[in-house]
Amino acid sequence: MKSDEIQSENIVVDEGLDILEQTVRNEYKYGFVTDIEADSAPKGLNEDTIRFISAKKEEPEWMLEWRLKAFRQWLKMQEPHWANLKYPAIDYQDIIYYSAPKQKEKPKSLDEIDPELRKTFEKLGISLDEQKRLTGVAVDAVIDSVSIATTFKEQLAEQGIIFCSMSEAIQNHPELVRQYLSSVVPVTDNYFAALNAAVFSDGSFVYIPKGVRCPMELSTYFRINAENTGQFERTLIVADEGSFVSYLEGCTAPMRDENQLHAAVVELVAMDNAEIKYSTVQNWYPGDKEGNGGIYNFVTKRGICKGNHSKISWTQVETGSAITWKYPSVILKGDHSVGEFYSVAVTNNYQQADTGTKMMHLGKNTRSRIVSKGISAGFSQNSYRGLVHVGKNATGARNFSQCDSLLLGDKCGAHTFPYIEVKNKSGVVEHEATTSKIGEDQIFYCNQRGIDTETAVALIVNGFAKEVMAHLPMEFAVEAQKLLAISLEGSVG
C-alpha cells in the first residue's frame, strides 16, 4: 500500500506549505483592541486591592484568607534575577490588577455574550459557538481577567468531567479546589507565584473523574485587552485514577508601547495511571522591531505525577512575549511515572527567553524526556535552563535531554544551562546539545530550486522544530507552524 502512504503524507505536507506561503509576510495580526466597557480595580497593589478582587468574585472567606496570606509573603520576597534576562524594573503599583469586561448580568447561555466580545473571539479564530463541535475542542475563553464562556460544559458533565472557570469552581466545587489549589505550586513557591496567588482573577479548572478518557481537547484562550492591565490566571487540572485529558492553551494581546505583565500559575495533578497532556502555543505580543512594548511573561507551570504509572507531558511553542521566564516542570513522585517536555522557543528582534524545565525524579523507575529547540534571530537572546534531579530513593530513574539551538544571523545569542543532580547511583541521565546556524549553503540550495529566502528559512526552521511539533494536536500544529513563519519574518536577507 505504498501509494496510499505517499498520498496521505503529501496532503498533510500540502496544508503546511500553503500556510507558510500565506503567512510568511504577515505582521502580528492579533494586535487589535476591542472596545468594551471594563470594570476595573484602581491601579496599584495593597490589601484593599485583594479584598476588592475577592469581593468582586464573591469569594468565600477561606479564599480571601488564602490570597492575603500569599500577599503578605510576597511583600517579604524579592523579584528573582538569576535568569539570563535584562529588563527595566517593574513598577507593581502602576498595574491594574483586575479588569473585567462589563456585562449587565452573568450570561446564562452563549447567546447572551456581548457581541463585541464575540467579535473579538471570532477575530482570534475562536468560535464560541457549538459549531466548534466538528473540531471537537471545548473552549474556555479568558479576556483580561475574567472567564467569559465555557463551551460544551453540559456534554462534558454527562461523563462527570468538570471544565469551568476557576471562579465557578471556587463557588461550585470548593472541596476539590481546596484540596488541590497550591498543592503543586505553593503560594510562596516563588515571587511571581505568590503575586499570582494574591491577585489571580480567573483561569480554568478541570477535573477528570476516575477511568474517564476526556472525549475532546479542552482549550483555553487568554487575551489581555485593557491597557495597563496585568493578567494573572490560574489553571488547575486534576486527572483522577486511570483518566486522560489533553489540554490546549493559547494566548494573544494587543500591540501597546508599554510593557504588560502576565504572571500565570498552572498546576497539574495526575493520579495512578492517569495522563495529562498540556500544550501551549504562546503568542503574546512580543514588542515591536525596536524592542518597545511587549508582554513580560513570568509563568510557573508544574505538574505532579502523584500516582504510580502516571504521565504528564508538556508541549510548548513559544513565539511571543518580550520576556519569557517559564519552566514547566514535572515532579515524578509515583513509581514508574513519566514526565515529558517538548519545547520550541523562538526569539526575534529584541525578545528574550529563559525557558526550560525541571524533572524531579522521586519515585522508582521514573522516566523523563526533554526535547528543547531554541531558535534565535535578530538581536534576541534565547536560553534553555533545565534541571534534572534524581532523588536518593529514585532507583532506576532515566532521563534523556536534547537541547538544540538554531541561530539566524550573528547578532543573536543561544545559551544552554543544564543542571544535573543525581543522588541515586542507579540513575542514568543523558544530555545532548547542538548549536547550528542556517547556512548560506542551505539558503542557496533552496534558492536554486526556485524557493525564495523567506520560504527557505521557514522550511529549515520547521524541519528543525519538527520533533516537537509532532507532539502538538493537529489543529494546534498548523497554527504553530504559521506562528514560526510569522515570528521569523524579515529575519534573514
Partner 1 sequence: MLSIRNLHANIDGKEILRGINLDIKAGEVHAIMGPNGSGKSTLSAVIAGREDYEVTEGEIEFMGKNLMDFSPEERAGEGIFLSFQYPIEIPGLTTTNFIKTAVNEIRKYRGQEPMDAVQFLKKMKEKMTLVNIDQSLLSRSLNEGFSGGEKKRNEIFQMAMLEPRLAILDETDSGLDIDAIRIVANGVNKLRTKDNAVLLVTHYQRLLDYIIPDFVHVLYKGRIVKSGTKELAYELEEKGYDFIKAEVEQGA
The reply on whether position 345 binds partner 1 by CB under 8 A is no
The reply on whether position 188 binds partner 1 by CB under 8 A is no
The reply on whether position 445 binds partner 1 by CB under 8 A is yes
The reply on whether position 432 binds partner 1 by CB under 8 A is no
Cα separation, 142 vs 127, whole angstroms: 13
Range in contact with partner 1 (rule: CB under 8 A) among 5-13, 237-245, 273-281, 390-398: 5-13
Cα separation, 230 vs 97, whole angstroms: 6
Residue from 10, 22, 93, 393 touching partner 1 (CB under 8 A): that is: 10
x/- track of binding to partner 1 for residues 364-383 (CB under 8 A): --------------------
The reply on whether position 410 binds partner 1 by CB under 8 A is no
Of 9 and 430, CB closest to partner 1: 9
Which residues are CB-contacts of 463 (< 8 A; sequence separation ≥ 6)?
A: none
Of 3 and 78, CB closest to partner 1: 3
Rounded to a whole number of angstroms, the minimum distance from the CB of residue 39 to partner 1 is 48
Which residues are CB-contacts of 451 (< 8 A; sequence separation ≥ 6)?
A: 459
Any idea what the Cα angle at residue 477 is, between residues 470 and 203, rounded to 5°? 110
Cα separation, 248 vs 246, whole angstroms: 7
Contacts with partner 1 in 307-326 (CB under 8 A)? none
Binding-site residue total for partner 1 (CB under 8 A)?
Answer: 35
Q: Which H helix or E strand runs over 3?
A: helix 2-23
Rounded to a whole number of angstroms, the minimum distance from the CB of residue 24 to partner 1 is 12
- Amino acid identity of residue 257, one-letter, is D
Rounded to a whole number of angstroms, the minimum distance from the CB of residue 9 to partner 1 is 7
Residue from 251, 460, 480, 484 touching partner 1 (CB under 8 A): that is: 460
Q: Where are the beta strands (DSSP E) in 162-310?
A: 162-165, 204-208, 217-223, 234-239, 244-252, 259-262, 265-270, 275-282, 294-305
Neighbours of 364 (CB within 10 A): 18
The reply on whether position 442 binds partner 1 by CB under 8 A is yes
The reply on whether position 433 binds partner 1 by CB under 8 A is no
Cα separation, 447 vs 320, whole angstroms: 29
Site residues, partner 1 (CB under 8 A): 2-3, 5-7, 9-11, 13-14, 16-17, 439-442, 444-453, 455, 459-460, 462-467
